[in-house]
A and B are shown apart, each in its own frame.
Chain A
């Protein structure tokens, strides 16, 4: 009987290894995953936009293209933390020519982690064989790395996210689609405003007990030094906050000062737009609690950003 058990274990390992191999193959070619897309298709970008949803959904590369003459790619990823951004940038620089500028979204909220998930591990699964990706994952999600030694478990560990991607990858492969729908990486918000009826009177969400996460800062600084090594000019920006936001979250001002200090330390400009006229009306926001603008306001914000870039950054 024990012989049968041994054979079973070996056959299982074989099947699972094959499944992992196949999934690696499909996901590395799945264009909706930005890290896969930029590993296959040349972007030739002069500006790369980086950050979480405040980057992916709020900066329109086509506008930057047409108004600055610089080709732009939006590498932003909703839900990303700095470690994710760092790995995305690292991946980009493996396969693409280094851009002239990196436009990085930074805000006090970027350093505030509500849970200990500082890495969106499942986004980097397909590239786990790379040593940098592996080491960052090991530092921030050690349990995952332990389990990933078993074939295929690196995918089924976060199975809820994996299945969705695998179906997508197979679909794209069957349809022979080589590009995602938004080729420049821009993910516009939906064409309506989110329901804000549950928000408090001052129309903002208040953060409880904010604390500055030093691991986030570590990866934030790693992004800066990676850019310095590759000769990329770094620019920080922050979304225009709804006018009541800082009134409801007084603590955050001092963390913004801390960001400014790091910016000055590294000779990086930091553009903020809290006094913009459209910040007075909540109707200009798609999602008020995250200060995300709606489709109508985005071009206005982007133009302000472009003006500052032209005046202060591109002059060199």
Chain B
């Protein structure tokens, strides 16, 4: 079962019904916990056990340490456990040894301990916060475990602040209000549209160019298209998933934090990281960037550089063990350091060109920089990335050997259906991106509008690509 599949929605509907049967807060939380454990169990027994055990461990450790004095050595001990378990499962995942442990999903990428990347960060942050006395330890094991296992967000985030989340759990609504239902449903529908109508249409070409050897990407032009499409696909796939997660949680009156803020409109790489996967960046900023920059702040520029390097190096490793992730991280480090040096000049340029023209240049430029780094992010190995890079710099064979008319009618290869589908998806993507801001305002309207919701449902069913398993890229984390 993956989020966005039919089974997920059946689970959501069932859980919602049972949730509102009870008035007692603890019972409501228990319903959610049971649903979450049930969801996790679809991925095998290991994900359930790991998540629950780590939750119990972190809960009691913090409680005990806080009561008897939370020493730095204790913090190091518990977070070493959290980090080591995370790395161990990452490692196992990379080697695919995990197929010995639990039944893989048919057609889905195999995941050993679902969501461990995300809830480990939650646990690590929690321990640091308790150590620093920012909060007092959570008193309810039920709420604590639920914050790690919560099924709408366990597989890919958003990352929650455990104390903030458990606080919101104490005020669960007794009735399904029109507001929660409407806003939740609209959000789920738009998320499904982003994934199934848009993101799914790019899969064929992206898989072809990145995973295929022959034909695979033939020219530099193919590589450029592959990178651009991947960035767009990743946005629609990932933010679509977030919409479904946030919309689903809303059914229970729970507000999860936004994870995206129109990142494709970013005019700089640092802005990109304020708009993309916000909860993850907030985590890295709060627990790695600021502590490092604070410690070395006397060294001014060097502090910033060092903090950027630390943050992205760890982020790269968190994403996976490949060299490609390190290169991806390094590129962003380079982008941010250069941007920091040029900050004053860029501001002057913005004033001179006026913001309209500045935007016209720097939004595509940012997109290109990020897409280039994604060449490494998406490549399966260093060898693959090298192969694509060589094709990219081969200027003489950059463009495919076909006429413009042929390109318009047939695309680059003979698979007409995929070409038409991809172009249709691209058209929808452009339309969506142009009206994104207005759409977001509309999605927060809490009155149930029959025309609007009918439109969303019909549009989804008519244009959705349902059959291929939604290859959700961040689910491996």
Give the CA-CA distance A303 to B331 in the complex, in Å: 62
Task: Give the secondary structure class of B's interface.
Answer: helix
A246 at the interface (CB under 8 A from B): no
Which one of B181, B421, B450, B458 contacts A160 once the chains associate, using CB atoms below 8 Å? B421
A152 at the interface (CB under 8 A from B): yes
A153 at the interface (CB under 8 A from B): yes
Query: Cβ of B462 and Cβ of A164 under 8 Å apart?
Result: no
Give the CA-CA distance A8 to B451 in the complex, in Å: 8
Query: Cβ of B458 and Cβ of A12 under 8 Å apart?
Result: yes
Query: Cβ of A4 and Cβ of B448 under 8 Å apart?
Result: yes
Whole-angstrom distance from the CB of A264 to the nearest CB of chain B? Answer: 39
For B450, the chain A residues whose CB sits under 8 A away are 4, 7-8, 11
Whole-angstrom distance from the CB of B358 to the nearest CB of chain A? Answer: 38
CB contact under 8 A between A163 and B461, given known A5-B448, A8-B453, A11-B454 = no
Contact residues, A1-55 vs B (CB, 8 A) = 1, 4-5, 7-8, 11-12, 15-16, 19
**What residue of chain B has the Cβ atom nearest to residue A165's Cβ?**
B417
Query: Cβ of B448 and Cβ of A157 under 8 Å apart?
Result: no
Query: Cβ of B462 and Cβ of A16 under 8 Å apart?
Result: yes
Q: Mark A160-201, 1 if CB is under 8 A from B, else 0.
A: 110110010000000000000000000000100001001000
Query: Cβ of A159 and Cβ of B458 under 8 Å apart?
Result: no
Query: Cβ of A163 and Cβ of B214 under 8 Å apart?
Result: no
A212 at the interface (CB under 8 A from B): no
B322 at the interface (CB under 8 A from A): no
For B201, the chain A residues whose CB sits under 8 A away are 160
CB contact under 8 A between A156 and B454, given known A164-B416, A198-B214 = no
For A159, the chain B residues whose CB sits under 8 A away are 421, 463-467
Which one of B181, B414, B461 contacts A150 once the chains associate, using CB atoms below 8 Å? B461
Whole-angstrom distance from the CB of B167 to the nearest CB of chain A? Answer: 28
Query: Cβ of A153 and Cβ of B204 under 8 Å apart?
Result: no
Query: Cβ of B461 and Cβ of A156 under 8 Å apart?
Result: yes
Whole-angstrom distance from the CB of A316 to the nearest CB of chain B? Answer: 41
For B416, the chain A residues whose CB sits under 8 A away are 164
B318 at the interface (CB under 8 A from A): no
* Interface size, chain B (Cβ < 8 Å): 27
Contact residues, B335-383 vs A (CB, 8 A) = none
Query: Cβ of B454 and Cβ of A164 under 8 Å apart?
Result: no
Which one of A8, A11, A16, A153 contacts B466 once the chains associate, using CB atoms below 8 Å? A153
The number of A-B residue pairs with CB atoms under 8 Å apart is: 68
CB contact under 8 A between A156 and B458, given known A4-B448, A4-B450 = no
B418 at the interface (CB under 8 A from A): yes
Whole-angstrom distance from the CB of B306 to the nearest CB of chain A? Answer: 47
Give the CA-CA distance A167 to B424 in the complex, in Å: 11
Q: Mark B430-472, 1 if CB is under 8 A from A, else 0.
A: 0000000000000000001010011001100111111100000
A158 at the interface (CB under 8 A from B): yes
* Interface size, chain A (Cβ < 8 Å): 28
**What residue of chain B has the Cβ atom nearest to residue A141's Cβ?**
B467
Give the CA-CA distance A8 to B416 in the complex, in Å: 36
For B394, the chain A residues whose CB sits under 8 A away are none
CB contact under 8 A between A12 and B465, given known A160-B418, A164-B417 = no
A147 at the interface (CB under 8 A from B): yes
For B458, the chain A residues whose CB sits under 8 A away are 12, 15-16, 19
Query: Cβ of B178 and Cβ of A1 under 8 Å apart?
Result: yes
**What residue of chain A has the Cβ atom nearest to residue B420's Cβ?**
A164
Which one of A5, A19, A144, A147 contacts B462 once the chains associate, using CB atoms below 8 Å? A19
Give the CA-CA distance A146 to B453 in the complex, in Å: 24
Query: Cβ of A160 and Cβ of B461 under 8 Å apart?
Result: no
Q: Mark B213-224, 1 if CB is under 8 A from A, else 0.
A: 111000000000
For A8, the chain B residues whose CB sits under 8 A away are 450, 453-454, 457
Query: Cβ of A160 and Cβ of B466 under 8 Å apart?
Result: no
Whole-angstrom distance from the CB of A270 to the nearest CB of chain B? Answer: 31
For B448, the chain A residues whose CB sits under 8 A away are 1, 4-5
Query: Cβ of B418 and Cβ of A156 under 8 Å apart?
Result: no
Give the CA-CA distance A158 to B414 in the complex, in Å: 19
For A5, the chain B residues whose CB sits under 8 A away are 448
Between A8, A152, A157, A159, the greatest number of chain B beta carbons within 10 A of the residue's beta carbon is seen for: A159
Give the CA-CA distance A167 to B454 in the complex, in Å: 24
16 pairs from A and B in contact (CB 8 Å cutoff): A4-B448, A4-B450, A8-B450, A8-B454, A12-B461, A16-B461, A16-B462, A19-B458, A152-B461, A156-B461, A160-B204, A160-B418, A160-B465, A161-B417, A164-B416, A167-B420
